Structure 1
Amino acid sequence: MKEIIRADHSGFCFGVREAIAKAEAAVREYDKRIYSYGPLIHNKQVTDRLEKKGVRVIESPDEAECGAVVIIRSHGVGKRFYEIAEEKNWTLIDATCPFVARIHDLVRAADEKGEQVLIVGDANHPEVQGINGWCGNSAIIVGNSQTIPDMEAEHLFVVAQTTIPKRLFEGILEELKKQRKELSVNHTICSATENRQQSCMKTAQQVELMLVLGDRKSSNTKKLYDISKKYCNNTYFVENIEDLPLKEVEKCNRIGVAAGASTPECLIKEVIANMSENTLENNEMNSMDALMDEIEKSLRLPRSGEIVTGKIHQVTDREIIVNLGCKKDGIIPSDEITLEGDQKLTDLYHEGDEIQAKVVKTDDGDGSILLSKKKLEIGEHWDEINQALEDKSNIEVKVVRPVNGGVIAAYKEVSGFIPLSQLSDHYVENVDEFIGQTLTVKVSRVDLRRGKAVFSHKQYLNEEKNKRIAEIWEGLSVDDVVEGTVMRFTDYGAFVDIGGIDGLLHISEISWGKLKHPQEVLSIGDKIRVKVLSMNQEKGKISLGLKQNQPEPWSVINEKYDVGQIVNGKVVQLKEYGAFVELEPGLDGLVHISEVAHKRVGNIADELSVGQEVAAKILEIDQDRRRISLSIKEALDEMPQPEEEVSETYEEEAEPADVPAEEAAMEVEETSEEA
């Protein structure tokens, strides 16, 4: 008995599935020639089928006329292509894989900042060529660690082709680090690719023979083949059913199957079915069995819920009659097909077209089988929702109506529930503001048996916020000066928003002078420029400084102050030996008690008070010891006095203060150190 093991994550990835869905929708929507710039995906079976439906592959923009409908392939294109599309007035259908589109955004932003972009990937692959087109084709492209060129740039902005092996990417990064390059690394390998490669490797290790299904032009399929060959020497590349090595298959009992991201499900199922049914002994019976199957099929009626395929026999504005190859025809009423605007059935479907639908009833009362395209689409929409849950990708839903505890939102023909707590990243008091809005959501839960889905807009918002925060962390460095907004205060400082991340501006880093509370110089909402003092991404902490934007007062004191100069200041501290006067934040001078007045002062508090504005003369500046000696009485001598206020002249010198000047100076030094 043969055992066939299908590798997990095989077949169409999310990006390929979306690209094909957009192409199929375009065929239905536009009644004219549709072009695909390059093969939509790297699979000839799929592109041939689309071509039969009217999607023609072009290799140059010159091949499409002005006003044409053009599909951008899943591999993406460069910026110049969009400019050409606008010049030629094309209707663009962008089927670029979301993961590739994200790389375009990263590269464009890096190029605008003047950074040197380095792409790890195949220079001849259309995805890499498209990425390069978003940085003016100036990127350095590296295919392996042996082809790294000499580079003048010290800083490199690194991205990867989505389908390259992770080991290759990491090996090139190691080589770049050996060259002492400063790297901004963006891990852009698609998770679906990595999962597909891991499951291929795991399957290849378990089997006697391995089949890798897909197009030989597909980069990711060729990489699966290389991986499989490494672990199972008996590996075969199967592009179509004719490539299936039945004689080799017959010799083995455990057979593995892996498929590239652009391999259609029909090929995978066809290969597995052929291996299950074919042996060397029964090959001769195949034609007879096929004939018997056809006879049996013509007699058997499909069951309710079954998905059937047939050819259109007749189309009217009311219904479509389908030949199902059995004794009854199928009928699809117009209300079982999704029509938009003024569309008619005869606009979309024609005699001889192949059509797929879901069986509603095996007898509609008139001897025909009742079919529905809508119910089939709903099934497909459920598949898309389920895939979004597995891929952790985003979908867009429209909020339809409020219900207890949240809202109902529709994804195409499927309704799901968004709990009130998942509507936003902040508290929602009234859901009415969301009704009618289209929201991007994550799929939280799917119950196919009960037909229920739960969505979360909050998860999407948090993910986007985390992406922005990660980008901010990547773009920040110690000593950078950035603009921020004062958000809130604590006793020990202020928290400043610097573009999505809060940094702490400690009270000691706000001013060169002493502050009791940040509110003395800052207000909520103030826009300020701060310096990044330290960063700890693991703990999510950033320390900021404001005072660093101004020179430290003592470092430039000789540029602003001279001995003999009369200065104004504010009394900030009283001691028994004198008063400290603040000339500016971070710069205090001492007025010894003997320099306060021309009379003997016993208690300095009788003459001065904290907060009082005074004028004083600079007696001495000692920059090394950080001391300034001031005199109020000498400043009074030099200031003009009104005639009626002639100062009293003392014949005797004022008695010295109780505290000697040398002891006061020692305490000044201690006070300065505390400050």
Structure 2
Amino acid sequence: MKIKRAKHSGFCFGVQNAIDKTEEAIRNNDRRTIYTCGQLIHNKGVTDSLHDRGVDIIDDISQAKNDDIVIVRSHGEPKEFYDKAKKLGVHLIDATCVFVSKIHDIVYEAYKSNRTIVIVGSKEHQEVKATNGWCNYSAHIIEGVSDANNLLKNIEFKDGDIPLIVCQTTIRRELLDEILNIFKKNEIEFEVKNTICNATRFRQESCKNLAEQVDAMIVIGDQNSSNSRKLFEIAEKNCKNAYFVQGISDLALQDFGNYNNIGITAGASTPEVTIKEVISRMNEEINKIEEQEEEMSMADFMEEIDKSLRLPRTGDIITGTIHEVRDDVIIVNMGVKKDGILPKSEVALEEGQELKDLFHEGDEIEAKVMKSDDGDGGILLSKKKLEMNENWKELNEALENKTNINVKLVRAVNRGVIAEYKEVSGFIPMSLLSDRYVEKADEFIGKNVDVKVIKIDNRRNRAVFSRKQVLLDEKRKQVAEIWENLNIGDVVEGKVMRFTDYGAFVDIGGVDGLLHISEISWGKLKHPQEVLSLGDIINVKILDLNEQKGKISLGLKQTTPEPWSLVGTKYNVGDIVEGKVVQIKEYGAFVELEAGLDGLVHISEIANKRVENVADEMTIGKVIKAKIMDIDSERKRISLSMKALLGEEDEESADEDKPEIQQTESEVAKASEAKEVEEPKANEEPHEEEVAEEPKEAEKTEE
């Protein structure tokens, strides 16, 4: 058995840099409090060690106080993080990976140029969240091909706006290529910055190459580490025996005894000491296994010698070779120091038959030991007794053919149940009594059930049965029948069983299907629980079936009308509608009328005045009323106007404002200067004429 380590594994440059800076901060600390905002790296062992040395974790920079030390994690932070830290007087030690910082610079420059920004990566990964924070959270985040398709369906790029595509440093290159192909197929011009870290690419290629060469592949990393999970996906794809562990405690070392070559790799946040510990312990286990194999080989050799000396005992069933057939007895060579004696009286013969009619020298024969010494130095055998034990033959046939037999459960014993098959008793372990956990066997006693024969010891007349295997086979048949009756396009009833960030799993009568988040609603969702709850009974449409992989794709939104189908019936030009602002652009705001149906309030249709900045008038989430001014069904566009709902008084005011809008800059400046001459400022003294008039007013009052 050999252990091979991937050429590129363990800490990357960025992670090592973050650890080094933290170690330095601990050494040079002058009693100030040290924090990391979130996990410094995705490795619980490392963060626990830092905690023991005085480095605590905060969730937000606002939890730090003036003069505290906060270490910026290798995944980076958004721009607002640094702004808040400066206001709070927090001392920052920036351990952001240089490759991540480079992405921040690229995104920030693109944002200042008002470009559309697309980030390929996981929405929940800190690196992606931080990068999005450098463009005021305006980026479109794509996790996979479906996200890319949805984005291109729901967005229209302005003329001259060439979207910039960047990516999370730890994603697979194949994922980036798949998404770029979507943009190309839709004839979208784009600029891509391949920001995948070379170290990540080398690590993934090294993992793939090694996984193809070994019998088992071990990936060491934290479950929260994105790059470690991707390594496991690669290992699992290229090696049929893949294991994802956090450390040596997660490995069942005895399971690796059958592998000749074992590969090991580790995520970018896995310490070297953890990798070496796993390799060291596995080497120790390999040495033990090899020693045991040597001992077993010697033991097997000694066992063969012992067998030749050891005589079979009464009740044993033996197999031997016929040495001689006489009129009244058969001599059997059993490979021991005594011969077997099979009398004619112990063989079932038909009338007129002789032993020589049925048996011949050199034939193999099976018999049961009646006595280990017949008094003349031989071992007394019986064929009749063996044939009477036909039940055991039936059990052997059931074992060989994997057929079911029916048994009665008669009594509970330690760790299982005794089951009777005709005259034979067998054992069912508690773990094989049901396909669910069984604490006590009392509920089963007295029942007749079908079982599988999974083990037989003919010498000791012992048998082991399994009811669990029968139940699992039945379930598999039921599932197969369900698959036969499923068709793409069918609408079926299902129950929501569990959630993931990317969708919900729905039981549709015995099999689970995936209801992807993009197929739940015509609108955009951040999580399936915005619409669904565990246990909900819903009608879903079957979108795709892959019986070979056991995967079913479901859709919920397809069971309701597509939003644009309502246009012309529910929505018409002139209607006054209410909706929520969901997106703000330079040229206006998009308003969601209902899930999947948006309208645009152009900047010129927001108010009866000149609007310079849409964000000054509108906020995300604000509910507004507007009038439908135009519907372009071919291009699927609805034009809305808030201005059209304003009163006549506002319209008159707007008409008065129009000349001002048409003024040139010089005219506006002159008007402003004139206004300043005519109207004194609040802190200036009034003119003499105004002072002189004051007594007159006073006199009038007295009169």
TM-score grouping bracket, smaller chain normalisation: 0.3 to 0.5
Q: TM-score, normalised by structure 2?
A: 0.40
Q: TM-score, normalised by structure 1?
A: 0.41
Bigger Rg, which one: 2
